[in-house]
Copies of this chain bind each other. A is one copy, B any other.
């Protein structure tokens, strides 16, 4: 590959923003590397070589870290693990960011998309000293270097990817696709932050990454920081060339310009040429960013800027072995993991490895004590400016409690305090409270709502009274609520929404993701990674707790009137409940006030993933706010007013519900039983917090056995109406004493065109079916209540014919209301 200068001139016309212009004293060393002279380039190269040396050392060396003696097989790790290929490129970017941060006193974080290159980021953290500050036993000397090498991808050590354990990391380096949306999330409401994002050309092929190019249409140059994408074209993924690296250059350029960027290409394989070109390109990009921000912030420019980006074309596995066993390795996919695979067994590989490591000239880089020499450290910024020590990358350090509004002004009033006398759209009620929260964070700007074009559809539109929808492009007179400074983020990509929110939370802010329930599965894999992140950070005392990731799943499975089968899937809850119980919480509030209470709790919480499933359609109000708070605090409880259980003994049957529609059907079934079988003792139980069903040893919210038995009994039939797939309830409760008596009704995969109530009927979750279940399962009732059972069956059949004729539910269903005990003689 021929070496080349940047393909576009380093925007000399733009305003340079050296450290002095930032208003702070230039840190020590600035002068030495501010000017791009030979000494600066030599320092950059030394830093880069040191990072490369440390990267190779981590992959290979168990001992002899400074190569004080000739390499012998016993110095080599028995299992060679890790990814070399991307590491030199990451080291190059880290090195040059160091210089830029130092010279300009930048407040910067970096998202390492090719996070498989764990050795690189670890190497740089160790060089800059943040590693030893975080892990004092890994000192910045020969002993610490030995530990750094040994621990890498070694039992009891650290992961081979960039991970929560890595200082400065904000992004798990495993699954690809999320780096750029994370980087944008970090930049939101952080006007002073530079959020750099290295995007691998493998990652660039993924859907989530492809979508997130357009996140720049939502970045406010006034209130948000800058995102600087660095597209690293090293040409190969695991075993193939990459699409973007093989495009004709004009096509790639058109693509990136079409994504709204001003790309500058740095390309080459001669280190000093690339150092010079990259330093120029970075200076040019940062000048341009400074100009864009000044124009927007002080000159009132409102057009969406063309943000700069860098295309970095360097060989995969650069500076590694050119050939191994006669096969080309450097600059091919063969450099992806461990280029020399048989070092312990093969003397030739061992020799090649030694040559490779020594090619970095370690004696120039490290003293005999193993400490990096001053020239190596010349580009490194000081203190919290170091990428491994920036507090934004440990967002809990910056997190402030939200100013949670009182709930009372937003609560649904129950006429005369009577359950079921009134109704509200629960998410709309929540929207009132969220609007206030939006208003109360207008100055702080640390709360955002994200959603795939569904905020209004999900009935949260009251928030637009407090803020608009982020939008930087052209607007028309007919547009509503579009706002260059808005804090509601809407784009039709669940991936981008999730990525924004994760990046925002990880940098110490708060938020809510509202989404159609069925389509939350689109981010199954992303939430996996976030839960893993939270799970691991809980064991890292230096990682401070961050705000929870809160999902409001609405437009749920039971009410897809406009859509149907394709929009039905209640399984996101199942997916999430497979993950770490320390992190996962699932709530199914049965009405508006319980939703308020649950959301209030979720927004105050830390380090969780809270999944709240709630309807947007009108729903009876069952509990006052005070009752709702008490119910939510318990997570599950007996609704005495709804049953006929006199509390003096065990009931004949327990009717339980979790979810808003199931709760309504259970109450309607309870009313039918009261009417038709008044002598039956029926207990009504409602579950808000699903994890309460788990044993205590399986989840922190799990109920002790005695409490479970007191609620559900040990031996009476329990008919449980559940919002989602019925077997989830069995999977949670299978260890309970009375499990054999538990019968669950829930969602089935049916998919026909129905009315709302017919949806319930076709899934056998309707009131009539529940009454039949009771009759079938309470011993002795089958014969005695045969006529009642038949009556229930008859209504269901009548309903079937009625809706096909009229297109709407039976009047007795459509007009149903709860009748309190006593008012009907029951």
Q: Does A627 contact B (CB under 8 A)?
A: no
Are the C-beta atoms of A562 and B807 separated by less than 8 Å?
Answer: no
Residues of B near A536 (CB, < 8 A) are: 565, 751
Are the C-beta atoms of B725 and A730 separated by less than 8 Å?
Answer: no
Q: Does A246 contact B (CB under 8 A)?
A: yes
Given contacts A207-B177, A241-B479, A749-B580, contact A755 B156 (CB under 8 A): no
Q: Does A83 contact B (CB under 8 A)?
A: yes
Q: How far is the CB of A804 from chain B (nearest CB, A)?
A: 5
Are the C-beta atoms of B524 and A159 separated by less than 8 Å?
Answer: no
Residues of B near A525 (CB, < 8 A) are: 519, 521-522, 524, 569
Q: How far is the CB of A95 from chain B (nearest CB, A)?
A: 25
Q: Does A457 contact B (CB under 8 A)?
A: yes
- Chain A positions 501 through 542: 1 when the CB is less than 8 Å from some CB of chain B, otherwise 0: 000000000000000001101101100110110011000000
Residue of B nearest to A536 (CB): B751
Q: Which of A781-824 contact B (CB under 8 A)?
A: 803-804, 806-808
Are the C-beta atoms of A175 and B518 separated by less than 8 Å?
Answer: yes
Are the C-beta atoms of A255 and B259 separated by less than 8 Å?
Answer: yes
Copies of the chain in the assembly: 2
Q: Does A455 contact B (CB under 8 A)?
A: yes
Are the C-beta atoms of A566 and B211 separated by less than 8 Å?
Answer: no
**Segment at the interface with B among A2-10, A492-500, A588-596:** A492-500
Q: Does A579 contact B (CB under 8 A)?
A: yes
**Segment at the interface with B among A287-295, A411-419, A570-578, A677-685:** A570-578
Residues of B near A476 (CB, < 8 A) are: 241
Residues of B near A730 (CB, < 8 A) are: 730-731, 734
**Segment at the interface with B among A232-240, A607-615, A713-721:** A232-240
Q: Does A166 contact B (CB under 8 A)?
A: no
Q: Does A355 contact B (CB under 8 A)?
A: no
Q: Does A203 contact B (CB under 8 A)?
A: yes
Q: Does A401 contact B (CB under 8 A)?
A: no
- Total chain A interface residues with beta-carbon distance under 8 A: 127
Residues of B near A753 (CB, < 8 A) are: 153-160
Are the C-beta atoms of A563 and B161 separated by less than 8 Å?
Answer: yes
Are the C-beta atoms of A804 and B155 separated by less than 8 Å?
Answer: yes
Q: Does A62 contact B (CB under 8 A)?
A: yes
**Segment at the interface with B among A34-42, A74-82, A635-643, A700-708:** A74-82
Q: Does A381 contact B (CB under 8 A)?
A: no
- Chain A positions 320 through 334: 1 when the CB is less than 8 Å from some CB of chain B, otherwise 0: 000000001001100
Q: Does A256 contact B (CB under 8 A)?
A: yes
Residues of B near A258 (CB, < 8 A) are: 251-259
Residues of B near A217 (CB, < 8 A) are: 243, 246
Residue of B nearest to A200 (CB): B492
> In the complex, what distance in Å separates the CA atom of A208 from the CA atom of B575?
21
> In the complex, what distance in Å separates the CA atom of A530 from the CA atom of B727?
22
Are the C-beta atoms of A207 and B205 separated by less than 8 Å?
Answer: no
> In the complex, what distance in Å separates the CA atom of A329 from the CA atom of B558?
29
Q: Does A405 contact B (CB under 8 A)?
A: no
Are the C-beta atoms of B239 and A455 separated by less than 8 Å?
Answer: yes
Are the C-beta atoms of A739 and B749 separated by less than 8 Å?
Answer: no
> In the complex, what distance in Å separates the CA atom of A328 from the CA atom of B203?
42
Q: Does A202 contact B (CB under 8 A)?
A: yes
Residues of B near A346 (CB, < 8 A) are: none
Q: Which of A243-295 contact B (CB under 8 A)?
A: 243, 246-248, 251-260
**Cβ 8 A contact of A174, one of B211, B253, B455, B567:** B567
> In the complex, what distance in Å separates the CA atom of A804 from the CA atom of B727?
41
Given contacts A238-B456, A524-B525, A749-B535, contact A154 B562 (CB under 8 A): no
> In the complex, what distance in Å separates the CA atom of A564 from the CA atom of B83?
12
Residue of B nearest to A154 (CB): B807
Q: How far is the CB of A374 from chain B (nearest CB, A)?
A: 33
Q: How far is the CB of A558 from chain B (nearest CB, A)?
A: 15
> In the complex, what distance in Å separates the CA atom of A69 from the CA atom of B688?
53
> In the complex, what distance in Å separates the CA atom of A454 from the CA atom of B240?
9
Q: Which of A75-98 contact B (CB under 8 A)?
A: 77-79, 81-83
Residues of B near A83 (CB, < 8 A) are: 562
Q: Does A446 contact B (CB under 8 A)?
A: no
Most buried by B among A153, A213, A566, A739: A566
Q: Does A173 contact B (CB under 8 A)?
A: yes
> In the complex, what distance in Å separates the CA atom of A84 from the CA atom of B284?
49
> In the complex, what distance in Å separates the CA atom of A730 from the CA atom of B736?
13
> In the complex, what distance in Å separates the CA atom of A246 from the CA atom of B727?
46
Residues of B near A116 (CB, < 8 A) are: 563
Given contacts A524-B521, A739-B734, A753-B159, contact A207 B251 (CB under 8 A): no
> In the complex, what distance in Å separates the CA atom of A239 from the CA atom of B478?
12
Q: Does A54 contact B (CB under 8 A)?
A: no
Residues of B near A749 (CB, < 8 A) are: 531-532, 535, 579-580
Given contacts A251-B257, A524-B575, A807-B79, contact A564 B754 (CB under 8 A): no
**Cβ 8 A contact of A208, one of B207, B237, B454, B473:** B207
Residues of B near A160 (CB, < 8 A) are: 562-564, 753
Most buried by B among A116, A155, A159, A571: A155
Residue of B nearest to A248 (CB): B474
Residues of B near A579 (CB, < 8 A) are: 749
Q: How far is the CB of A244 from chain B (nearest CB, A)?
A: 8
Residues of B near A62 (CB, < 8 A) are: 807
Residues of B near A754 (CB, < 8 A) are: 155
Residue of B nearest to A739 (CB): B734
- 7 intermolecular pairs with C-beta atoms under 8 Å apart: A79-B808, A163-B564, A207-B212, A210-B211, A210-B214, A254-B257, A727-B731
Known: A176-B492, A205-B491, A574-B578. 4 other contacts (CB 8 A): A155-B803, A175-B522, A205-B211, A535-B751
